[in-house]
Every structure is written in structure tokens, then in C-alpha cells.
Amino acid sequence: MEPLLMLTALLLAHAVATLVRAAVARRRRSRCYLLDYVCHKPSDDRKVSTEVGGSLILRNNRLGLPELRFLLRVIVRSGIGEHSYGPCSILEGREDSPTHRDALDEMDAFFDEAIADLFVRTGMSPGDVDVLVVNVSLFSPAPSLASRVVRRFAMREDVAAYSLSGMGLGKALPEAAVRALTLNLRRLVPLVLPVAELLRFAAQHVSSMLLSHFGMHVKAAGRPGARINFKTGVEHFCLHPGGAAVIEAVKESLGLDDDDVEPARMTLHRWGNTSASSLWYVLSYMEAKGRLKRGDRALMLTFGSGFKCNSCLWEVTGDMADKGAWADCVDEYPPESTTNPYMDKYSWVNQQA
């Protein structure tokens, strides 16, 4: 073996050993607990069916045929079904003149249901809260939403309250998601996978390097290159349902199958992309299906502006069987087809001259 290859192999082995030691040490001293969570379910009069969505678009006189055709393509490919929701201002025909009050009313509906329910479920009182973080992508009023929650639930004056806002996604989402995910996984993998899988991957990677050096192109011969098997350390994958293309890109990048991404796809179909809160609807789907068992580990991955990727590994410490916001529909999922009927009802748009 040439000195350069030998040195590469030794350095890689040393790096793996270092990461393993760091992972073991971190696992021993780190603890993270989630007492409970609640997903908000808006009222049924805010649902956007195919008929409602179509009428909202067609009543906009500023849209011509090119724009209508573009919107039809986007909606058909979106992966969103007929039971997601829209803001009251649009549903009531006031999309040209939404008010500050509209946004506050929407937030208050969530506060009064989900947050109040969370206190009941956990047995905690608002006075027990030491730190409050409110994350809303687009709405950033003054006083802040965090301050509004503090006042609404009479929390302590010394509670540390934070409002996060202004976060949104840009163009080229699938490609950006994979790039951000790759950077995140470099730090995540040593912390969540067993030593045996890390060593197997390292050995396969070194083997591929050696074979490539000697002109033996492994991948071209039909054999896969070195790839990490995330399922050796994770039972469930809680992926951000930012769109059908994003879910598919992450699925391919992690080497997952359709069953692994079913919760994300079904969340997108039922609720749409609810931004920062989407992951909790995905987790709730897993719980409603009775899939989260004691000792299971769920990898939570989400994406945001920047482009950023954040991850969290949860370990289930007790059986979870609450159906939550999915209670009235989880038995209908997954449906035979997630294709929405927009193309069937509005294909005439593509036939207009």
C-alpha cells in the first residue's frame, strides 16, 4: 500500500475513533425531555377544498392564462390535499385588505386552544414557565407574540420570553435542503449511530478509495459506494414537509423508503406546509398511528432560511397513543392516492387559446 493511502486510512480511523469517544461522552452527560405537545386544529370553515381554492384563484382579475397554468401545475404537484386551511381574510374575500386584527385573531385562536390544552395535559400552570419561545415565520407585531402569551396566561413577570420571526424559504429548495442536510449530518452521525455502523462505513469508504486508486471503479460496475445506514440507529424519521420535492430529496439523500417518509407526506397532504410547526404534526401522525414505542428513537429534521438544517434526536420513554389533531382522520391515511383533483376540474385552463 502506498504511503499516501496508508496515511489516509490511519487518519480516517483516528477520526472515527475520536468521534465515537465524543459521542459516548456526550450521551452520558446530555439529557433532553419533552413533557408533551399539542397541534392546533383550525375550524372546518377554514378548509380549502378544490372548489374553494379554484374560486379564490379565478376571482383574481390580475391573473391571466399563463399565471393560471403555472398555479395549476404548482398545486397539482404540491402533494397537498383538500383539507388544508386558509386565513379568514382570504376566505371572506378580503385578500386585498387584510388587517392587523385578522392576524391577531388567528394567533389568539391558537393560543386559546393549543397552549391552554398543553397546560391541562401536563398538569403545569403558567406560573411554572421559566422560558417562553414563540416562533412564527411571518407575523411579528409589537408588542411581541411572546409578550401576548405572557399577558394572556398571566405568566410570571420574570419569565424569559423570546419571539422568533422573519424566517422563510427561498428558491431551489430540494438542492439547498440536501446541501444543508449534508453539513448537518457531518456532526449528527457520530452522535446517533452505533459504533459498528460507523466502523462499517469507514471500512467501506477506505475500500472504495483503494479500489478507485487502482483503477477499479466500483460504482460503475454496479456496486453501490459507501453509504451510511441510518436505520441502524433510528426507528422513525420526522422530516419537515416543506413540499413534495423536498421530502423526496431528503428521502434519496438518507437512503430511506416510502414507509419512512409516509408521516411527512401525509402531513403535507392533510395540513399543508405549516412552516415551523410542521414537524409536530409529523410526530403526531406517528403517535396517532401507534408507531412510537418505548425505547424507539425518532430523528427530527427541519429546514429554514439561510439555508439551514436543524436536527434533534428524540428517545421515546413511554408508549405514546394520543391521536391529537389527527383523531378524526388518521384512519383514512395513507389514502390510495395523494393526487388532488385540481387537474380533473381545471384542466380547461390548459386548453384555452
* CATH code of the domain containing 309: 3.40.47.10
Contact 260, 251 (CB under 8 A): yes
Parallel, antiparallel, or unpaired: how do β-strands 236-239 and 297-304 relate?
Answer: parallel
Name the one residue in this structure whose C-alpha cell is 408533551. 36
The answer to whether residue 131 is domain-embedded is: no
> Residue 318: is its pLDDT beyond 50?
yes
The answer to whether residue 27 is domain-embedded is: no
The answer to whether residue 245 is domain-embedded is: yes
Cα separation, 263 vs 265, whole angstroms: 6
The answer to whether residue 235 is domain-embedded is: yes
Predicted local confidence at residue 223, as pLDDT: 47
For residue 126, report the phi and psi dihedrals to the nearest 5 degrees. Answer: -55, -30
Contact 324, 262 (CB under 8 A): no
Predicted local confidence at residue 117, as pLDDT: 96
Percent of the chain with pLDDT over 90: 56
Cα separation, 273 vs 279, whole angstroms: 10
Picking from 115-119, 143-147, 349-353, which range would have the lowest pLDDT averaged per residue? 349-353
The answer to whether residue 182 is domain-embedded is: yes
The answer to whether residue 256 is domain-embedded is: yes
Q: What is the pTM of this model?
A: 0.84
The answer to whether residue 60 is domain-embedded is: no
- pLDDT category at 175 given cuts 50, 70, 90 is confident
> Residue 195: is its pLDDT beyond 60?
yes
Question: Who has greater pLDDT, 91 or 176?
Answer: 91
Predicted local confidence at residue 221, as pLDDT: 42
Q: Domain span at residue 268?
A: 173-193+228-335
Predicted local confidence at residue 142, as pLDDT: 92
Contact 271, 48 (CB under 8 A): no
Alpha helices in the chain (DSSP H): 3-29, 50-58, 65-77, 88-91, 100-110, 116-122, 145-152, 173-192, 195-213, 244-254, 258-271, 278-288, 342-346, 348-351
- pLDDT category at 55 given cuts 50, 70, 90 is very high
The pLDDT tens digits for 18-38 are 666 665 555 555 576 888 999
What average pLDDT is seen over the chain?
A: 86
The answer to whether residue 252 is domain-embedded is: yes
Position 235, amino acid? E
As a dihedral over the C-alpha atoms of residue 176, residue 179, residue 182, residue 187, rounded to 10 degrees, the angle is: -80
Number of domains in the chain: 1
> Residue 268: is its pLDDT beyond 70?
yes
Read off the DSSP letter of residue 93. T
Picking from 161-165, 220-224, 257-261, 321-325, which range would have the lowest pLDDT averaged per residue? 220-224
